[in-house]
Each structure stands twice: as C-alpha cells, then as structure tokens.
Amino acid sequence: MVADLRKIVERRVIGDSIPRLVRWGKSLSPALIHRIQMEGFRRVVRYAAARQKFFARKLQEAGLRAEQIRRPEDLGDIFTTPEDIRNLPAEEFLCREPESVFETTGTSGGPKRVFFSYDELDFSARYEAAAFYESGMRQGDRVVCTFDAGYWISSWVTFLACKQLGVFCSAVGKPHPAEIYERLARYHYNVIVADPTWLVSLSEIAEKQGSFPVKLIFAAGDRMTDAYRDYVQRVWNAPVIIGYGSTEMGGGAGMECLERNGYHVDEYNLLFEILDPDSDGYGELVVTTLSRRTTPLIRYRVRDITRFLDGPCPCGTTVRRLARIRGRRDEMVVMGAGNMYPEIFEKVLSDVAGLSSNWQVAVRQEGLHDILEFRLELSNGVSTSAVEDAVRKNLEARYPDVWANQACGMYRLAFRFCPPGTLVQGRKRKRLVDERGE
C-alpha cells in the first residue's frame, strides 16, 4: 500500500500542474508523508546496495544486508561524508550513466562533484517551482537569477523551475550588481533571485539611484543576517524569502513561505535526520536522497547545525520545517566571499614576507557588509602596506573567484596588525572565526 502511495506521489509530481501539485501536497498528513518517506528510504537503500560500490562496501564492513534496513537508525554508524565525495573516485558513487555534473562552491581541497540525470534535475525543479508558486510567483512575472552559472547547480534548477511555471527568466550568472541594475527597468524584472550579499550590493546602488517595482526577492547561497534582510526589504519594499540547499541535496532542499519562520523542506525527495541533538534539539543535519538514482546519497552528513521546528505553520503546508542554520560542525564559514576554510588563508599567507606564524582571520559584520579581517603579527619590521599589498595580490592570483566577489561588493577586506605574541595559537586557537551576530 505504501509503495503504491510512493508511485502515486511520483506520478502526481510529474503529471500535475504546479498549482494542483501545491494543493495536493497540502492535503497529505505528516503521518502519511512519514510513511511515504520510510518506503522511499528502504527503496533507495536496496537500490544503492545493489549498484553503488561505496554503500555496498559500507554495508559489508558492518555485516549488514539491505533487507535488514527499515529505518535510518538501522544503519548505525554508516554515513556518507563530504570527504568521501571529495576524495573518492566518482565511480564509487555512480549507479548508472550520468547526464550532467555539478560541483560544490567550496574552494578548499578541490570541489565535491555530484552527477545527475536530466529527469532528476527536472524533478527537483518541480518542487522549487511549487515553492515559488506558493510564495506568489505567477505567469507574467519576470525573474532575474544571478546565482553563479558555472558548475553550481542552483542557477540551472531555478531556470528549470521558472520554465515549468511558464515564467520569464534570465539566468545570467553572477555579474556586477551595476549591470543588473541597468537592466531592471529595461526587461521589467519584478522577481530577483540572488546571493544575500550580492543583494545588499545591488540594494546600495538602488538606494542611491532609485529602486524599481519588485514583487518578490529570493535569497540563498550564503548567510543572510536579519540586518541584511531588513535593509534589502526596505530598499525594494518587497519581501525577502530565504532558501536553503546544496549541490549534494540536488539544489533547493527547503524554502521559507511568506510567514518566513523556518525552511519548509522537501520531504518527498529528501529524508532529514538531526544527529546528536542537544537539549534544544540542535544537531548536525543528515540527509538521504530518496528519489535520485544516478548518485544517491545515504545519510549524508551536511555539517550544518539546525533543528526541526515544532508545530504547524500558519501557511497550511504540512511538511516539516528546519530552523535557520546556527553554524557548522566543521570550520567552514559561509560569507560574501564564498565558502571560506582555514586552508585558503594558509595558502594566501604562506609566502608573505615579514609575518610570524601566528595569524587569525575573522569574518565580522560592519553595518550591511561582511568584513574579512586579517589579524597578523609582523616579525622583521616589514611595512604594513607591503604586507597588505602582498596579501591582496595572493588572494587575487590564487583565489580569483573569492577576489571577484569582493569586486562585486559582496564583502570588504580589513587588516589588523597585532603586537608579537598576542595571536599565539596555544591549545589549537581557531585560525578562522565567525564573529557575526544573527
């Protein structure tokens, strides 16, 4: 019976119009959604056990058979990690011939590569289209999407979502905000989809030169503080709705509704767990892809720290909600420069003359801007200006994408030179710290 329900879900998703899909999705009870999820989990476990080298080996090492697995907890300590995807050959995860590949935006240790079929991309886009429709996007609207259109998945899924809604869409990559500002009136864009810090830069231009009528703004890709959101909404007089997801999860995993109280997650295609929750329910997010068959991921450790929100949402949607991301279990910091890791700054500072081995980089907020602050100790009397010039040149040469985001106004560089000995690492002082508030 449940297997039949799962097939019904897939048929409805593929065959229904987006408005009918939204109405039908709201009619399902949380208990029924959970039953469908569990059947989807068992199906993908059996599928991956038979076709994926990585997961089959994990089962064998644990002495488990796929037929024994009824729920995630039955897998014990079996997880898929970001390091697995980054470091192991693609053949370890591929279950069939792929039709496309996307990479994460991480800039340390090489990107993580995830493969898809065209049908999987279309399938994911229908859920994003449903979220757009629920927020008020309709035929006749004109969307400009400025997500990076390189190997990052979000731009393509957004474009396909707009296609399925029959909505005009320009997915233009990530140009300088001034280029889009000049085109807002020309093409009558009334919906903007972009990174939060890119939106701040666009809004600063509009505050000085005048804004245009905008209906909706969707933000995702890096962290949007309350100060950023309030500022962008004030300039454009439009609601800012935040989405959440990753390449590994297939693009969008969840999105706020107009209530803007947590991310409504895609429980039809993704099964979420909270690992090792604290007394408030916060723990590491773990996700299993239920519908993907090219590179299914079983219990993927996302590293983000969040929790489920209790109680129904006033919007009437019955899928669960995740709270805003509190932080990360690893040392990555998400900001306007991109995904920052300590290793980035080790490479930037490695050959800068006159620096001691003690240093720290802080991400902080100053007004409406992310600040990337280098805290450095000088060792041989070199001038501070020479050090600043060398750091800037290394950052531009070794991480051009990070440097390009600065040129777009998505963050600012700062330097603080400290007396010798004040940045002693001691017992593992953090090289990279996030000092921004909520």
Annotated domain spans of the chain: 1-330, 334-434
Given a contact cutoff of 8 angstroms between Cβ atoms, the answer to whether 297 and 77 are in contact is no
pTM of the model: 0.84
Contact indicator for 92, 83 with CB cutoff of 8 Å = no
Answer whether 293's CB lies under 8 Å from 284's CB.
Answer: no
Nearest to 357 by CA among 373, 338, 372, 379: 379
Q: Which residues touch 278 (CB under 8 Å, ≥6 apart)?
A: none
> What are the mean pLDDT values of the chain's consecutive 10-residue runs (438 residues total)?
61 73 82 92 97 98 96 97 94 97 70 94 92 95 92 92 96 95 96 94 96 96 84 97 94 92 93 93 95 97 93 90 84 83 87 88 91 91 91 95 90 92 63 83
297 — phi, psi (to 5°)? Answer: -115, 125
Looking at residue 352, its pLDDT comes to 93
Rounded CA-CA distance 294/122 in Å is 14
Give me 78's structure tokens.
């079996």
Q: Which CATH number fits domain 1-330: 3.30.830.10, 3.40.50.12780, 3.40.120.10, 3.40.50.2020?
A: 3.40.50.12780
Backbone angles phi, psi at 428, to 5 degrees: 65, 60
Closest CA to 41 of 264, 268, 277: 268
Give 310's strand partners: none
pLDDT score for 216: 98
The architecture (CATH level 2) of 334-434 comes to 2-Layer Sandwich (3.30)
Q: What pLDDT is stored for residue 425 in this prediction? A: 55
Same fold, 1-330 and 334-434: no
Q: Read out DSSP for 292-325? A: --SS--SSEEEEEEE-EEPS--TT---S-EEPPP
pLDDT score, position 108: 46
